[in-house]
Amino acid sequence: VNSNGLLSFQTEIPRFINIEFPLDYPIIAPFYSNVDTTTAGTVSYYETENPGLIQRATENVHDSFLNFADFQATSLLIVTWQGVGYFNNGSDKVNTYQVVISTDGEQSYVEFLYPENGIQWIQGTGDESGLPDARAQAGIISPEGKVFSLPGSGTEQVKNLKEWTNMGLEGQFIYRIDQLEIVEPDVDFGGKSDEDDNTCASAKTLCHIQARCIDYDEGFCCECTPKHYGNGRHCIKKGKK
């Protein structure tokens, strides 16, 4: 369990590495970012066989994966980043999120949980080099180096994870993780689908903060402001190299 918003395997990753995924090791990352708990927040974890929690995790699998009705969780690993600040000593905005891994010894599933108002910052202030921190990244890197990213990972829109879902409840995502490929739920709850994203009313959060959303007959379009250039989902200030 690493403070910077990820679980790592094979080795610990005690320092924030300011690069885009993939990293060199398999990880599960609910919100990989430059966390600083010096003045705000805690990171905690525990394993449990609590019957109530076990049953809830089992039901989440049954509700999301139609072909795995025989799954019965036997243990859970619960990791919580509670009100954590950002580098360097930032505490005016804090993030709260959680990972729950459930297993029966053969099948394993991971849940990412982002509560309402849980995501208030997406990057630290950077270090002495002057380079800005990468925006928070959320996803899974397999032992083979394959990257599976959650919606918005590494972009301004990662802050909207608390509003999106793939299991019917805002801010909650579930995946099966014991296979060679990450397995997504069978049930489509419409949390963030291509069909829903055809109008600005539902998709404006996909546009960059320095862009505006415009509706057309065939769909929406993100357009950077006059002082910026780009494709609307990524905008860079003119004159900036």
pTM of the model: 0.78
pLDDT at 220 over 90: no
* Mean pLDDT of the region 11-32: 92
Determine contact, residues 172/165, Cβ cutoff 8 Å: yes
Among 222, 231, 1, smallest CA distance to 98 is for 1
Distance, in Å, from the CA atom of 193 to the CA atom of 186, rounded to the nearest integer, reads 14
Here the tokens at position 157 are 């829109």
CA atoms in the 13 A half-sphere facing the CB of 12? 6
pLDDT band at 197 (very low <50, low <70, confident <90, very high): low
pLDDT in tens, 134-187: 999 999 999 888 999 999 999 999 999 999 999 988 999 999 999 989 999 987
Question: How do the domains of the chain map onto residue ranges?
Answer: 7-192, 194-241
Asked if residues 190 and 168 have their Cβ atoms less than 8 Å apart, the reply is no
> Smallest Cα–Cα separation from 84: which of 46, 29, 121?
121
Say which range, 17-21, 140-144, 189-193, 207-211, has the weakest mean pLDDT.
Answer: 189-193
pLDDT at 101 over 60: yes
Q: Which two tokens stand for residue 164?
A: 């999106």
Would you say the C-alpha torsion 179, 56, 188, 212 has a positive or negative sign?
Answer: negative
Q: Residue 195: is its pLDDT beyond 50?
A: no
* Per-residue confidence band for 100, with pLDDT thresholds at 50, 70 and 90: very high
Measure the CA–CA gap between 134 and 156, rounded to whole angstroms: 10
Give the fold, CATH level 3, of 194-241: Laminin (2.10.25)
Question: CA-CA distance, 77 to 43, in Å (whole number)?
Answer: 13
pLDDT value for 144: 87
Mean pLDDT of the chain: 88
What is the pLDDT confidence band of residue 212, given thresholds at 50, 70 and 90? confident
Alpha helices in 39-166 (DSSP H): 51-64
Q: Report the pLDDT value the prediction gives residue 203, as an integer from 0 to 100.
A: 56
**Percent of the chain at pLDDT exceeding 70:** 92
pLDDT of residue 200: 72
- pLDDT at residue 201 above 70? no
* pLDDT tens figures, 68-90: 989 999 999 999 999 999 999 99
More confident residue, 215 or 205: 215
Q: What is the pLDDT of residue 204?
A: 47
